Structure 1
Amino acid sequence: MDHAERPSRNPLLRHAPLAIILTAAVVGYFTLGDYLSFDTLAKNREALLAFRDSHYWLMAAGFIGLYFVIVAFSLPGAAVASVTGGFLFGLTLGTGFNVLAASLGAMTIFLAARWGLGRTLAARMEASEGTLRNFRHGLLENEVSVLLLMRLVPVVPFFVANLLPALVGVRFANFVWTTVIGIIPGALVYTSIGTGLGEVFDRGERPDLSLLWAPEVIGPILGLCVLAALPMVIKAVRGKKEP
């Protein structure tokens, strides 16, 4: 049997990774919300800090692994994990660990979708006529700008930004680097919240994640969105000028 033919002759195996991810996401949504929370972090913060101080890199590896699982299986608690990164490791390393774990998790979802449903759907969109095919071609022609915008715009769910590109057939290399670059601004915001989390807990409060929408934060992010969209605008203007 030719290696290239195996995916098409084993549809169950091909779709299994994405099916597992979707099943875990549904189960996790209903069962893990109370565990992956700020209340849990507050109750266990002294033990976590003590373990970090005595086994720093083991704690770092465990944190990255847990955050990766949360993202890869779309479990609740990604925001909590991002803030925890700042709480345990500070702004610089915390941001680095957050971006690394989230990026690896995003790549896992992308590859699972690409290997299964994405390959079939992209082929069907290419073979179709009209709106679907034009949508796919338009996205692929501007894929870097679109991928960056999906990461930078705060209203786009992370899972959608991982899944949709795989389903329309964007290049994996572009997906990787735009993911890493695109999530840094948000990671910086959430990690910075975590650096002051100890004082928040001491006051008996919960962290205010609405900081992301503060003008001094959302303004620069929207500016990056404009820069990301600029190549599409220039291309569209040039297209209209051509006879």
Structure 2
Amino acid sequence: MSRKWVWGILLIGIILTASIVLGPSLTLENAKLQQSLLNEYIQSHLISAAALYFFSYLVITALSIPGAAVVTLLGAALFGFWLSLLLVSFASTLGATLAFLSSRFLLREWVQKRFGAKLETINRGMDRDGAFYLFSLRLIPVFPFFLINLLMGLTSIKATRYYWVSQLGMLPGTAVYLNAGTQLAQIDSLAGIVSPSVLLAFALLGVFPLLMKWLLNKLPHRRSDAT
């Protein structure tokens, strides 16, 4: 068995183990339950708390562990909008790039076999629109983000371009989720759920993909030759 296969099997084992251990705890109910305890720690250890959150988010994204959306909402509730936007934006993009690189260099054969049909769709889109296609997928995720990370690793796009296009493409959606998270942190009773600010924040979550689709249709599709 080649060294590449050994590393690939080891990585898959880590992902499965982390999903089983961490997945069930990454729920909105548990996040709200832990919020008050976390707030006390953050008030006295802001830098270390921010670093821990950043690293945890990066690992969750890199290993494709379910629950990133809940962790995003929790980040806004704990750190506020602007600091959480900084942390989540860079952690999610770095994690996505690590997943991209693992697919390209460690899991290529497994991804090709498991998601070959979807890879054909990705390749057609990249041939047609280049990096703009990745940008559109980040704005309107036709595929789950973890699948985009894995499938893009099998295309010819450069890792540096993948990083900055993902950084820009995921930023608007990240901001919408974090805005919802800041509103969620203010809910203390059932009455708070129907407050105008909360309703508006969550309405944006539903309207955002439609708005981005309309915007992309208005933009010229300029193919990038240097993919």
Query: TM-score if structure 1 supplies the norm length?
Result: 0.74
State whether residues 139 and 209 of structure 2, in contact with CA within 8 Å, keep that contact through their aligned partners in structure 1.
Answer: no
Report the counterpart of residue 214 of structure 1 in structure 2. Answer: 206
Paired position in structure 2 for 1:108: 98
Instruction: Measure the CA separation in 1 of the matches of 2:173 and 2:7.
Output: 28
For 2:189, the equivalent position in structure 1 comes to 203
The match for 1:7 is: none
Segments of structure 1 that go 5 or more residues without pairing to the other structure are: 1-10, 123-131, 236-243
Quote the Cα distance in structure 2 between the aligned partners of 1:74 and 1:134. 21
Check whether the contact 1:72–1:108 (CA below 8 A) recurs between aligned residues.
yes
**Bigger Rg over Cα:** 1
Match runs of 1:1-243 below 5 Å: 12-118=2-108, 136=123, 139-140=126-127, 142-200=129-187, 202-203=188-189, 211-215=203-207, 217-226=208-217, 230-232=221-223
Q: Check conservation: 1:24, 1:75, Cα contact below 8 A.
A: no
Paired residues of 1:95 and 1:187 also in contact (CA < 8 A): yes
**TM-score, length-normalised on structure 2?**
0.79
Alpha-carbon distance in 2 for matches of 1:79, 1:154: 14
Distance 1:154 1:75 in 2: 17
Contact 1:15 / 1:115 at 8 angstroms: preserved in 2?
no
Matched residue type, 1:231: R
Q: Provide the identity percentage.
A: 27
Partner of 2:116: none
- Contact conserved, 2:180 with 2:202, CA < 8 A, in 1? no
When residues 183 and 65 of structure 1 are mapped into structure 2, their CA distance, relative to the original with a 3 A threshold, is: same
Distance 1:64 1:227 in 2: 35
Q: In structure 2, do the counterparts of structure 1 residues 210 and 161 end up closer, same or farther at CA, with 3 Å as the change threshold?
A: farther
- Cα distance in 2 for residues equivalent to 1:138 and 1:19: 30
Code of the residue aligned with 2:137 in structure 1: it is M
Q: May I ask how many residue pairs the two structures share in their alignment?
A: 213
Structure 2 gaps, min length 5: 113-118
| CA apart distance, 1:64 | 0.4
